[in-house]
Amino acid sequence: MKNLILALLFTPMLIFSQSKSVKGTVLDDNGIPLPGVAILVKSSQSIGVTTDFDGNFLIEIPSDQEKTLVFTYVGFSKQEIDVSELSEVSVRMQTDNTQLEEVVVVGYGTVLKKDVTGSLSTVKLNDEVANQSTSIDQLLQGRAAGVQVIQNAGAPGSGISVKIRGTNSLRGNNEPLYVVDGVIISSAGEDVLPAGGVGNSGQEIQNGLNGINPRDIESMQVLKDASATAIYGSRGANGVVLITTKKGSKSKVKISTFVTSSIRTVSKKYDVLNGPTYAEYRNEALVLEGNNPAYQLNGNEVYRISYGDEGDEPGTSSAQPASVFRWQDELFRQGFSNKVGVSASGGSDNGDYYISAGFDNQEGVVKNSSLKSGDLRINLNQNLSDKLTLEARISAFFNDTDFAEAGDLIGANQSFIRNVIAFRPVISEEVDELNEDLEASNPYSWVDDFYDQSKEKRYIGSLGLTYKLPVKGLSYQIKAGGNVRTKDRRRFYGLTTYQGSTANGALQMSTLNTNSYQINNFLKFNRSFDNKHRINALLGTTYDVRKVESSIYAVEDFVTPEFTTQQPFLGSTISQPLRLVKSDQQIFSFLGRVNYTFNNKYIATVSFRRDGVSKFAEDNRFGNFPSLALAWRMENESFINDLDLFEDLKLRAGWGQIGNHGIGPYGTLSDYGVSDNLYGNTSNGTKVPLKLNNIANPNLTWEKTEQINFGLDFSLKNNLISGSVDVYDKTTKDLLQNSPIPTSSGFTSILINRGSVSNKGFELALDIAPISSEDVELSFGANIAFNKTKIEELGIPNNDFYINGVAQKRSFYFGQNISRGNIFKAPANVFVEGEESSLFYGFQTNGIYQTEDTDLAEGAVAGDVRIIDQNEDGKIDLNDRTFIGNPNPDFVYGFNISLRIKRITARLLFNGVQGNDIANGNLLQLDNAEGIITNILPNAYINAWRPEAQSNTHPRIGFTTNGRVAISDRIIEDGSYLRLNNMTVGFDVPISESSVIDKMNLYIAGQNLFTLTNYSGYDPEISNFLYTGLINGVDWNGPPNARTILLGLNVNF
């Protein structure tokens, strides 16, 4: 700024000198003209000009001066340009991310970046990437150390999970708190309630964060350590993602438009038996069971053999060959998507605005899978007077989705994915052979006759007034914000689906109506004294109310299925009467924070929050959440400064206590309410029964997390290398758990505080910018996070727990059974005190029993899988279970490469997970030739054990693990992967200066282009059972992921 003033002062004197004149334009990195840029003659340091409103300048360089100009502007890197050979230049200023005066958003306020004491990651977005994404979780993946994102791009709108620094709680929903422009959005795991399916049906989880448009996001801060999140008190334990949306700037009106088109295809398929081989397999299985073969093969044609009512042999072959299908090829298609958007922004001395609108039309990888959304945002800032400023944020979002691909989670053959993979590839007219309860529902029925439609509307708004009080630096702010989300989800099973055929059409309707609002009152104080002391303080109260009303309703037996989800009136049996479920919560809090900096070297932050939450009984309702953090800016110490090595070197230490009450309300009360079904009366009418639905636990209280963090931020001179390192240790006590309890109690679970877990970890983020010139820029970014979650205590008495056949007295409990049926009946995970969380527990195996083997376990026959008899008692039972895998990764990482050569930019983003195991439940049936009428993997059939050809890899035909009490290591696979998450190549189209267009950028992008993994299933990024907590790392009918090729155009006016 000093230079600028000097430049202004001296400008008039220049015209009298003999000189060289240079004119030019200065643009920002988006190609927008920059007014007010200071341009100085290098050798003089006193001769200079500033750019005008359109970014133009004209400078006279006196003959005695060196012909080099220096361009400076706050927030941008200094540039020097030799103009000795030039009379006209066009300069593009580059944003300086390390600018020390940069301000960072923290909880309920901002601080100077140099004064930050906590551990946080900033995710900066460029338009190319933001425009490719439909939800914010995609933007977090791979871009911030210690942030693990699980999502499935194949199914638009499907559920997501974001984990910051491991698992804090065994309860399941470990989603961070999202705060958009100060409005808390706690809906990450929120969805409509399932209305009760038909049979074993389950409802797919959908994304609860729809409506926060990536395109409108200016930046995201991920608050990771307790000193940063403690200001969010009882909701800070899982980390906080602060999202700041864009605002206009005080320059000319800027209009940005974009359009993208993309093609989405399934990135991987299962290889299963083709029709003729399947027919051979079927025949072999039937003959082994003592039955007649079902098919006759003639070359590649398959004919069905029928035997008549009396079962007479030989049967007669059908006249026509049976139809043969490759179901995955039939069902998975290319999905085409389009997205357009426009935004306008600008401002004046008194205020600024940002307005945007967009439309998105995405097709999934199966026929009736889609997502359509529209959104609108208005951001306004206005100075009402010199003391009073107003800020307003309003956004609206509308969303229609149909059928996220998994369709149905729990049922085996009742699931879409299961059906597509394993449905028999040979279809003939005769169905007599079929298993009687599973004869309907071929994969087509899921796309032709199943509907899972959601309509969602979301409005987020906030209004804030800030008044400068008479004391210098002191202001009062009141801010009210709200979030309204309504969702209507309807699922209809038509007559050809399994569910619909049993029920004669089944419609399930669920709605969600969430209203939340917050009122914040703050006194803020922000002032420097004597250039030595700087204080940034905050004191205030907030009241946060969240009202949720859900409804469920289901009806069956349709007079006509013609109107599918549209007309419940056509169904005659109400299988779920309309039921409203209320779930309200109120939180009242006091909070305060002081950030004090001494001499630009020593920084301390102290924060405190006291929360009162309606969920707990009066005695346990209030909790206190303090934090303390210290930082030392070592680069300002002479002994570091003398090294002339660091631009920035900051050592941080932080401690804090945070809480979590991520349970539903009313857990302390006994719920005597309606039951799932009615009871009949003597005239075949109905009676309403009342039931006790839960076990009240009046002692419920906070989950308390205490975390220590040490960190170091560094940046070398010239910003060639910068980065940060963090180590942390956090322990969560009084875990709130929905603990499975013995069903002999009459209930299946209780909400209870018990146990503790710890997470210890190390994070490293590094940015390297080896080349930074006008024509070529190259930078690398990388992050890696190691985290170990350990169950410190469970609060369950020790009991016999078998490891390698030896009983140990341990405290433990098991996870949840995966399926309600017999196929994957056993739990996969076990939670054992002193171990990592949710380890896989089951049988170890060692090949296949051979005919000559004499040491068969009780009940086994040659050709069965050899389960290791750990305790050598001759029989295989529960005591032979042992640890067989670990679903927790050793580390998660991401790295990106960014290269610009003149007008061409290329950006690559990789993300990966290393060292985790996956229990691939699909293998239970796919990898064993059970001899039933479903398709299997080729190896399971070809390499099946046969007396005459003894295999040691695959069991005999007819072998099944159905109903087995534990999983085996045969389904445990390495889940490590490295994925090219995104590759974008862009080109800045040259624009003539006279054009109305300021900038045009064309790009092509590929998402999920390749995945390096040994995992045999569709996708190692498992999105099943996201929020259960009792099932981890289990792939059970998980949908395939998608590969997307996208073409985009950004045009700025």
702-761: which residues touch another protein (CB under 8 A)? 739-748, 750, 752
Q: Distance between CA atoms of 406 and 421, rounded to whole angstroms?
A: 12
Q: Does 569 bind another protein (CB under 8 A)?
A: no
Interacting residues with another protein between 353 and 412 (CB under 8 A): 384-385, 387-388
- Residues contacting 773, CB < 8 A, separation 6+: none
Element (H, E) at 443: helix 443-448
502 or 939: CB nearest another protein: 502
- Residues contacting 836, CB < 8 A, separation 6+: 788, 789, 790, 791, 886, 888
Q: Does 482 bind another protein (CB under 8 A)?
A: no
Q: CB under 8 A: which stretch of 153-161, 227-235, 327-335, 538-546 binds another protein?
A: 538-546
Q: CB under 8 A: which stretch of 394-402, 526-534, 583-591, 1037-1045 binds another protein?
A: 583-591
Q: CB under 8 A: which stretch of 228-236, 579-587, 641-649, 717-725 binds another protein?
A: 579-587
CB of 291 to another protein, least distance (A): 6
Out of 582, 717, 875, 902, name the contact with another protein by CB under 8 A: 582
Q: Distance between CA atoms of 10 and 242, rounded to whole angstroms?
A: 44
Q: Distance between CA atoms of 31 and 126, rounded to whole angstroms?
A: 14
> Cβ(1010)–Cβ(982) under 8 Å?
no
Single-letter amino acid, residue 999:
K
696 or 769: CB nearest another protein: 696
437 or 637: CB nearest another protein: 437
> Cβ(583)–Cβ(572) under 8 Å?
no
Q: Distance between CA atoms of 232 and 229, rounded to whole angstroms?
A: 6
For residue 810, the SS3 value is strand
Q: Does 314 bind another protein (CB under 8 A)?
A: no
Q: CB under 8 A: which stretch of 352-360, 363-371, 623-631, 825-833 binds another protein?
A: 825-833
- The C-alpha angle with vertex 399 and arms to 395 and 405, in degrees rounded to 5, equals 140
Q: CB under 8 A: which stretch of 143-151, 267-275, 674-682, 991-999 binds another protein?
A: 674-682
Out of 678, 766, 769, 942, name the contact with another protein by CB under 8 A: 678
529 or 679: CB nearest another protein: 679
Q: Does 689 bind another protein (CB under 8 A)?
A: yes
- Residues 962-1001: x where in contact with another protein by CB under 8 A, - otherwise, as a string: xx-x------------------------------------
Q: CB under 8 A: which stretch of 158-166, 221-229, 436-444, 908-916 binds another protein?
A: 436-444
Interacting residues with another protein between 485 and 524 (CB under 8 A): 498, 501-504, 519, 521
Interacting residues with another protein between 805 and 824 (CB under 8 A): 813-814, 817, 820-822
- Residues 273-312: x where in contact with another protein by CB under 8 A, - otherwise, as a string: ----------------xxxx--------------x-xxxx
- Residues contacting 293, CB < 8 A, separation 6+: 282, 283, 286, 287, 305
60 or 556: CB nearest another protein: 556
CB of 370 to another protein, least distance (A): 30
Q: Distance between CA atoms of 464 and 479, rounded to whole angstroms?
A: 4
Q: Distance between CA atoms of 133 and 214, rounded to whole angstroms?
A: 7
List of E strands, 496-601: 506-529, 533-558, 571-582, 585-598
Out of 144, 183, 406, 826, name the contact with another protein by CB under 8 A: 826
313 or 644: CB nearest another protein: 313
- The C-alpha angle with vertex 864 and arms to 858 and 868, in degrees rounded to 5, equals 60
3-class SS shares of the chain: helix, strand, coil, % to 5: 10, 50, 40
Interacting residues with another protein between 447 and 476 (CB under 8 A): 465, 467, 476
CB of 236 to another protein, least distance (A): 19
List of E strands, 559-677: 571-582, 585-598, 602-613, 622-633, 646-660, 672-674
DSSP, res 566:
G
Interacting residues with another protein between 925 and 954 (CB under 8 A): 932
- Residues contacting 680, CB < 8 A, separation 6+: 686, 687
DSSP, res 225:
S
CA dist list (Å): 117 to 646, 652, 653, 713, 861: 18, 6, 7, 10, 65
394 or 674: CB nearest another protein: 674
Q: CB under 8 A: which stretch of 122-130, 537-545, 845-853, 969-977 binds another protein?
A: 537-545
# chain residues binding another protein, by CB under 8 A: 118
Out of 463, 570, 604, 695, name the contact with another protein by CB under 8 A: 695
Single-letter amino acid, residue 193:
L
63 or 745: CB nearest another protein: 745
In the block, residue with structure tokens 């300069």: 91
In the block, residue with structure tokens 């065994």: 170
Element (H, E) at 11: helix 2-14
CB of 445 to another protein, least distance (A): 13
CB of 613 to another protein, least distance (A): 7
200 or 370: CB nearest another protein: 200
Q: CB under 8 A: which stretch of 104-112, 145-153, 443-451, 694-702 binds another protein?
A: 694-702
Interacting residues with another protein between 632 and 671 (CB under 8 A): 665-666, 668-671
Interacting residues with another protein between 126 and 185 (CB under 8 A): none
Interacting residues with another protein between 772 and 801 (CB under 8 A): 796-797, 799-800
> Cβ(1024)–Cβ(405) under 8 Å?
no
From 1031, 520, 521, select the one nearest 814 (Cα to Cα): 1031
Q: CB under 8 A: which stretch of 26-34, 206-214, 955-963, 1017-1025 binds another protein?
A: 955-963
142 or 196: CB nearest another protein: 196
Out of 613, 765, 957, 1022, name the contact with another protein by CB under 8 A: 613
CB of 743 to another protein, least distance (A): 4
Q: Does 580 bind another protein (CB under 8 A)?
A: yes
- Residues contacting 541, CB < 8 A, separation 6+: 520, 521, 588, 589, 590, 591
- Residues 186-205: x where in contact with another protein by CB under 8 A, - otherwise, as a string: ------------x-------
Q: Distance between CA atoms of 124 and 764, rounded to whole angstroms?
A: 17
Note the residue count of the chain. 1053
Interacting residues with another protein between 860 and 919 (CB under 8 A): 877-879
Out of 567, 614, 772, 951, name the contact with another protein by CB under 8 A: 614
Tokens, residue 90 = 């066009």
CB of 542 to another protein, least distance (A): 8
Interacting residues with another protein between 198 and 237 (CB under 8 A): 198
CB of 750 to another protein, least distance (A): 6
> Cβ(900)–Cβ(908) under 8 Å?
no
Out of 574, 727, 862, 1049, name the contact with another protein by CB under 8 A: 574
Out of 46, 686, 952, 1014, name the contact with another protein by CB under 8 A: 686
CB of 969 to another protein, least distance (A): 19
> Cβ(879)–Cβ(1011) under 8 Å?
no
Out of 46, 323, 338, 435, name the contact with another protein by CB under 8 A: 435
For residue 897, the SS3 value is strand
Question: Sheet holding 183-185: strands in order across?
Answer: 120-124, 217-223, 240-245, 177-180, 183-185
